[in-house]
Amino acid sequence: MSTTPPIRAVGVVGCGLMGAGIAEVCARAGLDVVVHEVGEDAAKAGLSHRLR
């Protein structure tokens, strides 16, 4: 019987309200998180969702 390796990192595509929330929860759980967004303005907007 095989075992599943633990999840250590996640990638989130899109940093809207939902993506930012998923990224935050994963980071708070101790996972490495990479977020990809279409542009710098969208990425900054996504960060502001969590900084309020």
Q: For residue 43, tell me if it sits in a domain.
A: yes
Q: What is the pLDDT, as a whole number, of residue 50? A: 60
Q: What is the pLDDT, as a whole number, of residue 51? A: 52
Three-state secondary-structure class, residue 24? helix
| Alpha carbon separation from 28 to 22, 38, 50 (Å, rounded) | 10, 24, 12
Q: What is the pTM of this model?
A: 0.76
Q: For residue 2, tell me if it sits in a domain.
A: no
Q: What is the pLDDT, as a whole number, of residue 40? A: 86
Residue carrying structure tokens 């990479």: 34
Q: For residue 8, tell me if it sits in a domain.
A: no
Number of independent structural domains in the chain? 1
Q: What is the mean pLDDT of each run of 10 residues along the chain (52 residues)?
A: 89 90 92 92 78 50
* Cβ–Cβ < 8 Å for 26, 10: yes
